[in-house]
């Protein structure tokens, strides 16, 4: 699949996964890969404190858009923007857009949003998703990447529109919920990209989440991202002594043992990772995008670039599914 075709699948991509799988890194990588393909991208954060800005070597984000990476450089890449969305800010904006400016400050300032949010569960989620819908409609960027709350909360978050329709039967919130549901269920406008590590528990949770999202929300699923895959290295099954002899080198004292222990560890972890990747493929018929584990453990602009190039490479090897629409049969 060509990158242009991949990024044209839907303007909104919601990146979701359990805590610790690297959701934010994947959101940053998607934006960078889109920018490298000449498409502008906006990353939307909902929880704050994610370290996203540090990945682009920038200061913290605010409610208004800030540019993380300017386009038009030597590589011809497009702009990457980011912003944080909070339910309180989105509510203020929503109320003033609906001519309710006078009460809006009071509703938020008095903490009354908590009461309303308790009375109408999902209202906060709808406010966030409603804002995303507005950004999508305004065409603020070629690609809008939403770094979703950690799963299982992700399912509740995405299910909010449907459950709200059951509770609130009239009024502007009902309209809002309907519009959000239209966005979520239109696979040409919005898809969810699930992220996992190649380990047993995260894979199980991803599979469960994938089926719930399709069955309960009717949401479209983008290829899944398997993050933190050990890259292949040659020679790991060769005895260090013989490997040295083969090139006429001599090992230093103790070095043979270290090389061999490290090689065994990597072989075993790699075998486990492959097993989980294969199991994921068995249980969930979606294309996979594998991103390498970065041993330098610091995600900065260079690492995001490397991951974005890896992602583009993986995208090219994706064979588009014959039938558009439901990926999970």
Partner 1 sequence: MTDLATLVRDRRILICTGSGGVGKTTVAAVLAMRGAAAGRKAVVVTIDPAKRLADALGLEGLQNSPSRIDGEWPGELWAMMLDTKSTFDSLVAKYAGTPEQAARIVDNPFYRNISGALSGTQEYMAMEKLYELYEETDFDLIVVDTPPTRNALDFLDAPQRLTNFLDHRLYRILMAPTRGMMKAVNVATQAFLRTVSKVVGGDVIDDAIAFFTAFEGMEEGFQRRAKRVAELLTADETGFVLVASPRRDTVHEADFFARKLREGGLDVEALVVNRMHPKWGDELAEATRARADAFEGTDLGGLYANLADFQLTASREEAHLDGLTESTGDADVIRVPMLESDVHDLEGLGRLGDLMMGA
Within residues 181-200, the interface with partner 1 by CB under 8 A covers: 199-200
Distance CA 39, CA 319 (A): 22
Spatial contact of 3 and 35, defined as CB atoms under 8 Å apart: no
Structure tokens belonging to residue 176: 């809002």
Q: Compute, in degrees rounded to 10, the torsion defined by CA atoms 154, 156, 159, 163.
A: -170
From candidates 8, 70, 103, 324, binder to partner 1 by CB under 8 A? 103
From candidates 93, 186, 218, 269, binder to partner 1 by CB under 8 A? 269
**115 interacts with partner 1 by CB under 8 A:** yes
Which residue, 71 or 86, is less far from partner 1 as judged by CB?
A: 86
Distance CA 240, CA 247 (A): 11
**250 interacts with partner 1 by CB under 8 A:** no
Q: Kindly determine how many residues on this chain lie close enough to bind partner 1 according to the rule CB under 8 A.
A: 74
From candidates 106, 166, 282, 319, binder to partner 1 by CB under 8 A? 106
**Based on the number of CB atoms within 10 Å of its own CB, is 127 exposed (0-12), middle (13-18) or buried (19 or more)?**
buried
Among the listed ranges 29-37, 121-129, 132-140, 314-322, the one in contact with partner 1 (CB under 8 A) is 121-129
Distance CA 246, CA 231 (A): 24
**262 interacts with partner 1 by CB under 8 A:** yes
* CA neighbours closer than 13 Å in the CB half-sphere of residue 191: 22
From candidates 59, 138, 166, 170, binder to partner 1 by CB under 8 A? 170
From candidates 110, 313, 317, 326, binder to partner 1 by CB under 8 A? 110
**97 interacts with partner 1 by CB under 8 A:** no
**8 interacts with partner 1 by CB under 8 A:** no
């Amino acid at each position: 699949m060509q990158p242009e075709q991949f990024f044209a699948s839907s303007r909104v991509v919601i990146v979701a996964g359990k805590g610790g799988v690297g959701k934010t890194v994947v959101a940053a990588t998607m934006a960078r890969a889109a920018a490298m393909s000449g498409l502008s991208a906006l990353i939307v954060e909902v929880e704050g404190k994610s370290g996203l800005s540090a990945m682009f070597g920038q200061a913290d984000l605010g409610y208004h858009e800030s540019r993380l990476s300017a386009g038009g450089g030597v590589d011809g890449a497009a702009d990457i923007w980011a912003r944080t969305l909070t339910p309180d800010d989105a509510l203020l904006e929503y109320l003033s857009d609906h001519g309710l400016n006078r009460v809006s400050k009071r509703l938020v300032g008095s903490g009354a949003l908590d009461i309303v949010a308790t009375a109408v569960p999902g209202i906060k989620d709808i406010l966030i998703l409603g804002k995303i819908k507005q950004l999508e409609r305004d065409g603020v960027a070629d690609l809008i990447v939403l770094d979703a709350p950690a799963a299982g909360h992700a399912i509740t978050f995405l299910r909010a529109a449907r459950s709200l329709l059951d509770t609130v039967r009239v009024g502007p919130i009902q309209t809002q919920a309907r519009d959000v549901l239209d966005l979520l269920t239109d696979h040409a406008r919005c898809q969810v990209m699930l992220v996992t590590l190649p380990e047993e528990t995260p894979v199980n949770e991803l599979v469960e989440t994938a089926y719930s999202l399709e069955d309960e929300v009717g949401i479209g699923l983008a290829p899944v991202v398997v993050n933190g895959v050990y890259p292949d290295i040659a020679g790991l099954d060769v005895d260090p002594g013989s490997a040295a002899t083969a090139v006429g080198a001599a090992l230093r004292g103790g070095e043979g043992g270290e090389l061999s222990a490290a090689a065994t560890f990597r072989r075993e972890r790699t075998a486990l990772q492959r097993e989980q990747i294969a199991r994921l493929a068995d249980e969930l018929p979606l294309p996979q995008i594998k991103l390498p584990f970065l041993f330098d453990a610091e995600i900065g602009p260079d690492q995001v670039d490397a991951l974005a190039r890896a992602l583009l490479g993986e995208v090219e090897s994706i064979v588009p599914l014959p039938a558009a629409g439901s990926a999970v049969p």
